[in-house]
Structure 1
Amino acid sequence: MPIEIKMPALSPTMEEGTLAKWLVKEGDTVKSGDILAEIETDKATMEFETIDEGTIVKLSVPEGSDGVKVGAVIALLQGEDEGDAPAPKAEAKPKEQPKAEVAPAKAQVAEEKAASTAPVKSEGDRVKASPLARRIAEQQGVDLGQVKGSGPGGRVVKADLAGATPGAAQPAPKAEAAPPPPPAAPQEAGDIPSETIKLSNMRKTIAKRLTESKQQVPHIYLTVDILLDPLLALREQLNKGLEARGIKLSVNDLLIKAQALALTEVPACNVSFAGDTLIQYKRADISVAVSIPGGLITPIIAGAEAKTVSTIATEAKELAGRAREGKLQPHEYQGGTASLSNMGMFGIKQFEAVINPPQGMILAIGAGEKRPYVVGDALQIATVMSATGSFDHRAIDGADGAKFMAAFKRLVENPLGMLA
């Protein structure tokens, strides 16, 4: 009985994907760990490896197909030893033998290998594992949450279970099918010259999540003007000292640090709304908006409040580079406790960003520009930046949002305090 290879869930938010490219063809022999295809998820294009061994007998989905649902069969694999002794059909003698006795062990194994790839949870964390590893874990009573995965994105594969200590295994929850989105009304172009552009999976996900955010999350917006000259002067001095190490700080690197420290100072803003409870985070993981071809992605600077600005600069540059190449792993862009979006480099004076659920806030940074500004008791020409916080009003009161914005303003205007 051929083994069904199904469209995997390569990220927690993935409901469907595009089978961008097959890296095998019918008749090829593959072994565990071989790369079968490139799959475009809602955030990036990722490689998909097999966990079984055998011969590819059918590619059920042509490459380039989009909208392939998670769990759909995309290929069939004949096991190495299944061709010699094919399983007899259960219908041959339905009255003389029970169904369980007619089907040999090999057929049962094949059926089990076709089990859902829905990830399990252990101690609140999502654990990814191959169907074969999941079956072996269930048989041996191994808790997958205690096994370190060596597959793509930390996926647990068969080899990782060697020597694993038996424990209480968690059953895999059944994935609920997402309801289909309502059909969009066609847009008549009339006589206007136009072209129809097919939405990528990333753009579809952005559209869905931001629509849900604006419909379901009551946003409150708070804006402050911030004197930027002290931070610019400190950045110039720090960059002179870091030049020999090949590190160059951006204004954004310092703002990430300031946001993280403000969140630790006002923990009521470092939260997410979860129905009848609030989740308050003990560290500040800042999701930094990065524009990439076809959309936006938010790589995370984890624990930014405890990192030096040089470390933040190095991580931010490396993550942004891999984000634009589509090489980020899911754990590097999924999660975060708050977000930062900076459009100052485009000359945008001020804007209001949309919250990225389940986070409770996002900080929108405008351009630093020369303005008349009162410094002390004197009117001067100074470099001033407008920053706007968007807060989930279900979780964060306006007063707490105001405290956060005041703390952020104070840190930016007195940046030496961020280095202490």
Structure 2
Amino acid sequence: MARLLRMPGVSADSDEALLDAWSVQAGASLKAGDVVASVETEKALVEIEVDDDAVVHALLVEPGSTVPVGDPIAVLREPGESTAAADELVAQVRGAAAPAAPVAFAAAEIVTPEPVPASSGAPAPTSANGNGSGRIFASPLARRIATELDVDLVTLTGSGPNGRILRDDVRAAAAAVPVAPVASPEPKPAAAPAVVSEAGASTVTPHSKLRRTIASRLQESKRTAPHFYLTRHLRVDALLTLRNEVNSQASQRISVNDFFIKAAGRALVDVPEMNVVWTDDAMLSYERADVSVAVASERGLVTPTVRGVESLSLSTLSATVKDAISRANAGRLQQSELEGGTLTISNLGMFGVDEFAAIINPPQAAILAIGAAGKRPVVAPDDSIVAGTVVSVTLSVDHRAADGAVAARWLDRLAALVAAPMSILL
């Protein structure tokens, strides 16, 4: 029978998604598993497949449109079925009277209006997005973030369907709250706020969904995760020698970054206290080393996660990373590839950056920033001064997840692996 194809819940923390492109046209016959459209989430493009054989009766949404999760985007009918029922569905949707068909949401995306408790004897507050009944219409994710950032939902006007408060509404409200000045015996007059004008700009480029997400997540990370930083200067002469030997026999070239990713995975297994994720309710510990890799793709910064790094051969690891970078540039990473992991590797050495500190990719516990390899004077075992190739690395750590001593042991283990790189391969 005719049915609606609805915008799926492609990401656990998204209330909406952007329809990037249709892969089919009206009238197309589909087999189970065929791709009908690509949807842009906050991190990647996700392909939508059909579960059963069908015929595309009508496409309801134009490419480039942002659609709330659960809203209809197309009408499908059975092969050989009359068009009458499908035409009726199209008329209902376009007449803003879509049938009340059940919608399958991910648990984190079910939106249930909840009353805001009022104090005894006082009238229930009326929210900016409510209907006068004192109810707040907000997604569970928006409610959780509002609690974390101390934002009163009653004061917000939602940008979602029917005024529903979304996650970005909460974050925007939190960012707009002025920070109270620290008391001073001799207060100084505040400087006038800077006024940004588009008049003098050579170009005005609207922020993409991905760029907005990057900014929001990193801002949230710096605000909520207490960062501390540990820096080591690692001599990599032995690693470079081994890399040259491996590349002389390998079918594909292995990068220095591949060695560091592999070493980081081994260190996470060897120092399991660092292979964790902090949550409000518990510390999550992992046996497998899943390491994310920061990729400056053509669409923006993304961090695909390599699973089970400690068990991968160096050649398999290298191929996996190269494939992820290629698909990141094409916007073809799946949402599942951008989730998980306890640590991210960020390498700016290829840009000549000597040393830097990176912002943790939430909810991970740490991020390792790797600088460029360069010749420096080092002290040899016989106390002589020689030229050595050194890389500076800085580990940014969420102090809620790990203390300084734990992070130092992890970094020491990483340094030992880099100093004896053959152990990385064993």
Place the TM-score, normalised by the shorter chain, in its bin: 0.7 to 0.9
Partner of 1:205: 213
Letter in structure 1 aligned against 2:11: S
Deviations 1:70-118 (A, max 9, x none): 22222334566575689x9xxxxxxxxxxxxxxxxxxxxx968x43232
What SS is found at the alignment partner of 1:373?
strand
Measured after TM superposition, the shift of residue 362 of structure 1 is 1.0
Verify the 8 A CA contact 1:60 1:74 in the aligned structure 2: yes
Measured after TM superposition, the shift of residue 58 of structure 1 is 4.6
What SS is found at the alignment partner of 1:221?
strand
1:121-160 superposed matches below 5 A: none
Letter in structure 2 aligned against 1:316: V
Partner of 2:73: 74
Q: For residues 19 and 380 of structure 1, what CA distance do their matches in structure 2 show?
A: 58
Partner of 1:21: 21
What SS is found at the alignment partner of 2:18?
strand
Q: For residues 232 and 293 of structure 1, what CA distance do their matches in structure 2 show?
A: 29
Provide closer, same or farther for how the CA distance between residues 352 and 5 of structure 1 changes in structure 2, counting only shifts above 3 A: same
- From 103, 108, 120, give the equivalent of 1:116: 103
Measured after TM superposition, the shift of residue 412 of structure 1 is 0.7
Q: For residues 410 and 34 of structure 1, what CA distance do their matches in structure 2 show?
A: 49
Deviations 1:17-67 (A, max 9, x none): 2222234445656564443323222222333233466665553322222x3
Letter in structure 2 aligned against 1:282: E
Percent same amino acid at aligned positions? 41
Verify the 8 A CA contact 2:299 2:331 in the aligned structure 1: no
Q: Does 2:415 correspond to 1:409?
A: yes
Q: Does 2:357 correspond to 1:390?
A: no
Partner of 1:43: 43
Q: For residues 393 and 206 of structure 2, what CA distance do their matches in structure 1 show?
A: 35
Deviations 1:199-223 (A, max 9, x none): 2222122122111111111111110
- From 308, 327, 330, give the equivalent of 2:313: 308
1:2-401 superposed matches below 5 A: 3-26=3-26, 32-51=32-51, 56=56, 58-65=58-65, 67-77=66-76, 81=81, 114-119=101-106, 178-181=166-169, 182=172, 188-189=196-197, 191-242=199-250, 246-376=251-381, 377-401=383-407
Letter in structure 2 aligned against 1:116: V
Verify the 8 A CA contact 2:299 2:329 in the aligned structure 1: no
Measured after TM superposition, the shift of residue 263 of structure 1 is 1.2
Range with greater deviation from structure 2 (33-42 or 198-207): 33-42
Provide closer, same or farther for how the CA distance between residues 191 and 333 of structure 1 changes in structure 2, counting only shifts above 3 A: closer
Verify the 8 A CA contact 1:17 1:201 in the aligned structure 2: no
Provide closer, same or farther for how the CA distance between residues 85 and 279 of structure 1 changes in structure 2, counting only shifts above 3 A: closer
Measured after TM superposition, the shift of residue 389 of structure 1 is 0.5
Per the normalisation by structure 1, the TM-score is 0.73
Partner of 2:425: 419
Q: For residues 176 and 263 of structure 1, what CA distance do their matches in structure 2 show?
A: 30
Gap runs ≥5 in structure 2: 89-97, 110-138, 143-165, 177-193
Deviations 1:274-330 (A, max 9, x none): 223211110211111111112122222221112222222222222222222222233
Verify the 8 A CA contact 2:304 2:337 in the aligned structure 1: yes
Provide closer, same or farther for how the CA distance between residues 193 and 82 of structure 1 changes in structure 2, counting only shifts above 3 A: same
Q: For residues 400 and 106 of structure 2, what CA distance do their matches in structure 1 show?
A: 30
Measured after TM superposition, the shift of residue 398 of structure 1 is 0.6
Measured after TM superposition, the shift of residue 342 of structure 1 is 0.7
Provide closer, same or farther for how the CA distance between residues 359 and 176 of structure 1 changes in structure 2, counting only shifts above 3 A: closer
Verify the 8 A CA contact 2:46 2:335 in the aligned structure 1: no
Q: For residues 222 and 364 of structure 1, what CA distance do their matches in structure 2 show?
A: 10
Letter in structure 2 aligned against 1:118: F
Per the normalisation by structure 2, the TM-score is 0.72
Verify the 8 A CA contact 2:45 2:334 in the aligned structure 1: no
Gap runs ≥5 in structure 1: 89-109, 127-173
Partner of 1:147: none
Letter in structure 1 aligned against 2:374: E
Provide closer, same or farther for how the CA distance between residues 117 and 348 of structure 1 changes in structure 2, counting only shifts above 3 A: farther
Measured after TM superposition, the shift of residue 238 of structure 1 is 1.8
Provide closer, same or farther for how the CA distance between residues 404 and 111 of structure 1 changes in structure 2, counting only shifts above 3 A: same
Provide closer, same or farther for how the CA distance between residues 15 and 196 of structure 1 changes in structure 2, counting only shifts above 3 A: farther
Measured after TM superposition, the shift of residue 402 of structure 1 is 0.9
Letter in structure 2 aligned against 1:71: G
Deviations 1:339-381 (A, max 9, x none): 1111100011111111112211111101111122222212222
What SS is found at the alignment partner of 1:198?
coil
Range with greater deviation from structure 2 (51-60 or 250-259): 51-60
Measured after TM superposition, the shift of residue 334 of structure 1 is 1.7
Provide closer, same or farther for how the CA distance between residues 8 and 235 of structure 1 changes in structure 2, counting only shifts above 3 A: same
Range with greater deviation from structure 2 (306-315 or 45-54): 45-54
What SS is found at the alignment partner of 2:42?
coil
Provide closer, same or farther for how the CA distance between residues 309 and 52 of structure 1 changes in structure 2, counting only shifts above 3 A: closer
Provide closer, same or farther for how the CA distance between residues 315 and 35 of structure 1 changes in structure 2, counting only shifts above 3 A: closer
Letter in structure 1 aligned against 2:104: T
Partner of 2:160: none
